[in-house]
Structures are given as structure tokens and as C-alpha cells.
Amino acid sequence: MLKFTGRRLVQFIPVLIGATIICWGLVWALPGDPFKGRCGQVACSAQYIQTMTQKYGLDKPLPEQYLVFLKNVFTGNLGQTFSGLEISDVIGRALPVTARLALISIVIQIVLSAAIGIWSGLRANGPFDVTALFGSLILFSLPIFVVAFVAQYVLGVQLDWVKPTVSTAAPTRELILPAAVLAIGTLATLMRILRASVAEGMHADYLRTARAKGFRESRVIGVHLMRNVMAPALNVLGLEFAALLGGTVIVEGIFNIKGIGGLIYRAIQDREQLTVSTVVTLVIVFYLVINLIVDIACAQLDPRSRND
């Protein structure tokens, strides 16, 4: 297990370097000078453009700029945005909000999909299962921004149960509605995956064996069945959690959440190469780490998937 983890950690390095190079190149390839358009509707003075270009080192050759970026990341100094803010501060403000939003959303997904999915699987083709199937199809086909708008208007404006938008401090209670909206898309997928594996597992040999051994039904389902059902759902959950940490531009916009999604969006618009690369690097690290954790967890669940 340790050897497996170590090997995976070493693999991170080329992935990260490759990804940052691609990201760096893409932002750099976007047309338009980042400084020319920074003076509202009038032209910036030539001196302004020159000073800013030198200050942020954009006059240096691209490989050199990239190496400076790498050096900065490793020394923990992330540099400044074009507005003169520390990038670490900017990320430090946005990431906790996004992380809490993602976490709440994942909890909602786990609770609901486990309850509904497993119940449907145990009573496959029963009335509950059929209703759940229809429900999940409807959820799956709803565009997320429509759900977001309707939920915001009905719950926030008409019924006045929640605040329609999230305030700057983003307290957890205000994040519940957007997190629930974000959960909807994956919820349907998770439910179906769980239902399918439970329904399939119910007829599997190992379950018959377990029952024949005389285990209590709760143990048969709770341990023997669940171990085999968990792996695929865990993979989906892991990917979803990483995706949520990468930010969600549309839902953040609708609920005015100041998170990672909007940060990347604006940084790309403003050609803030450093900010984009730093945040993207961070998101990739999340993906890799979460992926690793999921793989380790799956290996624990299913010895067959251990490859070392």
C-alpha cells in the first residue's frame, strides 16, 4: 500500500508540470494585451502599459516567465494580481467558501443518494424504485441554472424561507440552497449507480453464501453487500467533489457566491496568467489527491483492485 501510494505521489509531478505548461500556454495564447484594456473606456497611456509590463515581467520570454512562476510556487510566494493584491490572499478568500459549498453539497449527495439508491436497489422494480427512477430522470434532465433560478425565486423571494443570495461572509446556512442545487446533477447519477449495484448484488453468489453462513440480514446487507456496492459510487463522488472544489461559475453567479469559479472566470478575462495558473494548479492537486484517496479506499474495499 505504501509503495503504491509513493509511486502515485511521484507520478503527480509530471502531471502537474504538464498541466501548468498547457494552462500557461493557453492563457498566453489568448489575444489582447492584459494592460491595454485596464483603463475603462479610454486608452491607457503608453507609459502605463510599459510600466505594468515590466513590473509583472510580461516582457520576458515565455519559458523564463514560466520558470519564475514555478520557482514562486515552490517558495510559497505566489506573487500579485494586476490589481496589486497578493494572490495567496485572493485564493485564501475564495477557497474556503468554495470548499464549504462543495462539502455541504457532497454531504447532501451522500445522504440522499444512499438512502434512495440503496432502498430502490433492495426493492428493485417496486413502486418506490419506479418513482425514484422517474424522479432521477427528471432531476437529470433539468438544466442546473433553471433549477437555481426557480429555487432562488420561490424559496428566497416568494416564501422568504432563505436569503436569495449569499452575503460576503457566506455563512453556512446561506450555502445550503446553492449546495442542494449543485447536488442535483450528480444525485441522479449516484442514485442510479447505487441502485444498479445493489440490485445486482442482491442476486450474487457471495450474498447467498453469506446468508447460508447464517449471518443476520443487517450484516449481510450492511457489510457484505455494501463493500461491493461502494467502489463505483466512491469514484463518482470523488470526481464530483474535486469538480466542486474547482468552482462552479453559473451557480456562483446566480447566488452571488465569491468562490473559485468566479475567480478563475475573471482571471481569464483579465489575462491574469499567474492567478489562473496558480488556481488551476491547485485544482489539479485536489483532483490528484482525491483520486488517490478514492483509489486507496477502493483497494481497501475490494482486494481485487489492488495492483501491487
Partner 1 sequence: MRTSRLTAGLTALVALALITAGCSSETSGDAPSSTAAGGGSGSGADSGGGGGTLRISNAITTDPIIPMTVDTATTRVMDMVWTGLVRYDDTLTPYNANAESIETTDATTFTITLKPDYTFSDGTPVTADSYVDAWNYSAYGPNAAQSSSYFSLIEGYEALNPAAPEGSDTAPEPTATTLSGLKKLGDHQFSVTLAKPMASFPSILGYSIFYPMPTSFFADPEAYAKLPVGNGPYTMTSLIPGQEVDLVKTVGYDHEDAGKADAINFISFSEDTAAYTAVQGDQLDYAPVPSAYLPTFQDDFPNSSALVTGTSMMDMQIPLYQEKYADPNVRIALSMAIDRESIVKALLPGAATPADGWVSPALPGYQAGACGENCSYDPEKAKALWAKTSFPGDVVITTLAPQNTLFTSVCQSITDTLGVACSVNSVADRTTYKGIAQAFEAPGPIRWGWAIDYPTMENMLVPRFTDGGSSNWMTYASPEFQALIDKANAETDPAAAATQFNAAQAVLGKDMPDVPIYFQQGAGVWSESTQGLVLTGFGWPDLLKAYKTS
Applying the rule CB under 8 A, the residues between 200 and 259 that interact with partner 1 are: 223, 226-227, 230, 234, 237-238, 241, 245, 252-256, 258
| Under rule CB under 8 A, residue 33 binds partner 1 | yes
Contacts to partner 1 from residues 87-126, by CB under 8 A: 89-90, 92-93, 95-97, 99-100, 102-103, 106
Give the residue with the Cβ less far from partner 1, 72 or 256. 256
Contacts to partner 1 from residues 157-196, by CB under 8 A: 157, 160, 163-169, 174
| Under rule CB under 8 A, residue 47 binds partner 1 | yes
Q: How far is the CB of 137 from partner 1 (least distance, A)?
A: 28
Span interacting with partner 1, options 10-18, 44-52, 121-129, 182-190, rule CB under 8 A: 44-52
Among 34, 185, 201, 247, binds partner 1 (CB under 8 A): 34
| Under rule CB under 8 A, residue 76 binds partner 1 | no
- Distance in angstroms (rounded) separating the CA atoms of residues 306 and 308: 6
- Distance in angstroms (rounded) separating the CA atoms of residues 183 and 49: 44
- Distance in angstroms (rounded) separating the CA atoms of residues 184 and 119: 18
Backbone angles phi, psi at 86, to 5 degrees: -70, 130
Among 2, 3, 13, 41, binds partner 1 (CB under 8 A): 41
Span interacting with partner 1, options 5-13, 71-79, 200-208, 261-269, rule CB under 8 A: 261-269
Q: How far is the CB of 103 from partner 1 (least distance, A)?
A: 5
Q: How far is the CB of 159 from partner 1 (least distance, A)?
A: 10
Q: List C-alpha distances in Å: 159 to 146, 147, 149, 176.
A: 18, 16, 14, 16
Give the residue with the Cβ less far from partner 1, 148 or 191. 148
Angle at 272 between CA 95 and CA 37, to 5 degrees: 135
Residue count of the chain: 308
Q: How far is the CB of 238 from partner 1 (least distance, A)?
A: 7
Taking residue 102's Cβ as centre, other Cβ atoms within 10 Å add up to: 25
- For residue 86, what are the β-bridge partners? 80
Q: How far is the CB of 187 from partner 1 (least distance, A)?
A: 18
Looking at residue 173, its amino acid is: R
Closest CA to 51 of 62, 63, 39: 39
The cell 433560478 sits on which residue? 149
Looking at residue 159, its amino acid is: L
